[in-house]
Amino acid sequence: MANGTRKVRVIALGGTIAMAAAGGGLTPALGAGELAGSLGGREPGLSVDWADFAQVPSANLTFADMVNLAAEISRLAHVGYHGVVISQGTDSLEETAFALELLLDAPIDVALTGAMRGSTAAGADGPANLLGALRFLEGSAGGGEVVVVMDDSVHAARIVSKSHTTALSAFTSGEAGPRGRIHEGRFRPLNPARAPLPKVLLPESADTPQVELVTITLDQSPWVLRAPGHESVAGWVIAAMGAGHVPAALVADLERIARRVPVVLASRTDGGSVCTSTYGYPGAEIDLLGRGLLHGGALSPLKARVALTLLLMAGTGDCRARLAEIVAAV
Domains and CATH numbers, the chain: 6-189 (3.40.50.1170), 211-329 (3.40.50.40)
Provide the whole-model pTM. Answer: 0.94
User: Counting Cβ atoms within 10 Å, is residue 141 exposed (0-12), middle (13-18) or buried (19+)?
Assistant: exposed
What region does 87 belong to: left with phi over 0, alpha with psi -120 to 50, or beta? beta
β-partners of residue 27 are 20
Q: How many helices (H) and strands (E) does the chain have?
A: 9, 16
- The values of phi and psi at residue 69, to 5°, are -65, -45
For residue 308, what are the CA distances in angstroms to 137, 264, 321?
Answer: 29, 8, 11
pLDDT digits (tens), the chain, 330 positions: 444 579 999 999 988 888 888 777 888 788 888 888 888 776 667 889 999 998 889 999 999 999 999 999 999 999 999 999 999 999 999 999 999 999 999 999 999 999 999 888 888 888 999 999 999 999 998 889 999 999 999 999 999 999 999 999 999 999 999 999 999 999 999 999 999 999 999 988 878 999 999 999 999 999 999 999 999 999 999 999 999 999 999 999 999 999 999 999 999 998 999 999 999 999 999 999 999 999 999 999 999 999 999 999 998 778 999 999 999 999
Catalytic residue among 5, 16, 215, 309: 16
User: Counting Cβ atoms within 10 Å, is residue 166 exposed (0-12), middle (13-18) or buried (19+)?
Assistant: exposed
Contact 115, 25 (CB under 8 A): no
Query: Among this protein's residues, is 16 annotated catalytic?
Result: yes
Closest CA to 240 of 261, 220, 210: 220
Give residues with Cβ within 8 angstroms of 156, minimum separation 6.
145, 146, 147, 173, 176, 179, 191, 193, 194
Contact 240, 268 (CB under 8 A): yes
Q: How far apart are CA 19 and CA 119, in angstroms?
A: 6
